[in-house]
Structure 1
Amino acid sequence: MDEIGRRGLMLVLSSPSGAGKTTIARRVLDEDTGIAPSISHTTREKRRGEVDGRDYHFVDKQTFSRMREQGAFLEWAVVFDNYYGTTRGPVEQSLGEGRDVLFDVDWQGATALRDSAKNDVVSVFVLPPSARALEERLKTRAQDSEEVVVRRMRGASNEIQHWGEYDYVLVNFDVERSVAAVHAILAAERLKHARLTGLDGFVQGLLKQL
């Protein structure tokens, strides 16, 4: 009887900055050994505590432009004057080997990923419980200047307007519940028969036994 395998999926998390998607993503990665992060290339400066090669591949704009011209990116976008992009090769290899990849991207990146690999994408949009909570989170994390916080609040409206383009939407009232919801989404999406390889052969073999 044929063995059942699975093609990997691309779990895409998006939200306005400060709504909690990065916290949720890190928890999911820590708790689920079946999924690994997509490490993007970016031209922005490193924040305190970030490590090159773990959080992002930090490159200058010239290097990024050269990679883009060579077709190295599965998707790329400009966010607050900085470039972000996902390299194609490692992702395609992971999916083919049945391993899942998590993406922490904005709506532009999510759109590009859907255009590139619609059947592999499972998209989740994370909403803050309120505008006030969003602003407080941005200020509390103390990673950006006041000017950048203001810009991110202005950008939140544009980001949130794209919520309807996603497969799932979470309102992040509580991190624990949000993480549990993402685990549930992953569990269901991994069982979709369209992602299972060898299933037709398995069923035919099973029918022959009856």
Structure 2
Amino acid sequence: MMNKGKIIVIVAPSGSGKSTLIKRIKAEFLDLLESVSFTTRKAREGEINGQHYNFISEQEFLDRKENDEFLEWAKVHGNYYGTSKKFVEDEISKGHNLLFDLDIQGTDSFKEYFGDRARVIFIAPPSVEALENRLRGRGTETEESLNIRLENAKRELLRKDDYDYLVVNDELEKAYLDLKDIFEGILR
């Protein structure tokens, strides 16, 4: 498993523009496979099971965790998220380049498991205030969930310099070009 395929992890606080940037990267780098995590959170409007996430019950998640089916897992914002060990092993062994969208805990697990084979890109908002405005603008959060995400984001931002690359998403086009340059360097 360790001598084929590239592993690229993107980590960012909720609302930092990560999903928008990943969508553009996937459109540009068509051979990248994105790992689809398992989660116990409810699907948002427009999300498709098996494409955005594998939406499962908490009991099914805990059963899979007990069976050691996850490479990494975490409880984030009150919901479980995990990466299928079988998916990663199968795709890396085929030489496919994999893109992962993980939280801090999952990213740390990947770095521990893969070491320098996992290249990690942290996407940061220009400020906590900008992040709060983006989250409020989505209109998908209750005040309670918004406050949880903001508190988590403040802790996550303390880690922004702990990874291989940092992209500040102050202006989307510049952030995308910075991210594209990083991907080109990794995939060479």
In structure 2, C-alpha distance between the alignment counterparts of 1:97 and 1:182, rounded to whole Å:
25
Structure 1 stretch displaced more, 145-154 or 57-66: 145-154
In structure 2, C-alpha distance between the alignment counterparts of 1:121 and 1:93, rounded to whole Å:
16
Match of residue 116 from structure 1: 113
In structure 2, C-alpha distance between the alignment counterparts of 1:8 and 1:47, rounded to whole Å:
31
Contact 2:125-2:169 at 8 Å conserved across structures: yes
**TM superposition shift of 1:164:** 2.3
The Cα offsets for residues 151-208 of structure 1, whole Å up to 9 and x where unpaired, read as 21111111111112210011101222222222211221223xxxxxxxxxxxxxxxxx
Matched, 1:78 2:80: no
Which secondary structure does the structure 1 equivalent of 2:166 belong to? strand
Contact 1:8-1:120 at 8 Å conserved across structures: no
**TM superposition shift of 1:119:** 3.5
**TM superposition shift of 1:48:** 1.1
How many aligned positions are there?
A: 186
Match of residue 12 from structure 1: 9
Structure 1 stretches lacking a partner, 5+ long: 1-5, 192-210
Which secondary structure does the structure 1 equivalent of 2:42 belong to? coil
**Structure 1 segments of 4 or more deviating over 2 A?**
none
Structure 2 stretches lacking a partner, 5+ long: none
Q: Pick one of 25, 33, 45 that aligns with 1:48.
A: 45
**TM superposition shift of 1:146:** 2.0
Q: Pick one of 174, 182, 192 that aligns with 2:171.
A: 174
- The code of the aligned residue for 1:167 comes to D
**TM superposition shift of 1:28:** 0.6
Which secondary structure does the structure 1 equivalent of 2:45 belong to? coil
For residues 1-210 of structure 1, what are the structure 2 equivalents within 5 Å?
7-191=4-188
**TM superposition shift of 1:76:** 0.5
The alignment yields a C-alpha RMSD, in angstroms, of 1.3
**TM superposition shift of 1:45:** 0.9
- The code of the aligned residue for 1:74 comes to L
Structure 1 or 2, whichever has the larger Rg, is 1
Which secondary structure does the structure 1 equivalent of 2:60 belong to? helix
Normalised TM-score (structure 2): 0.94
Give the % identical residues: 35
Normalised TM-score (structure 1): 0.84
**TM superposition shift of 1:96:** 2.1
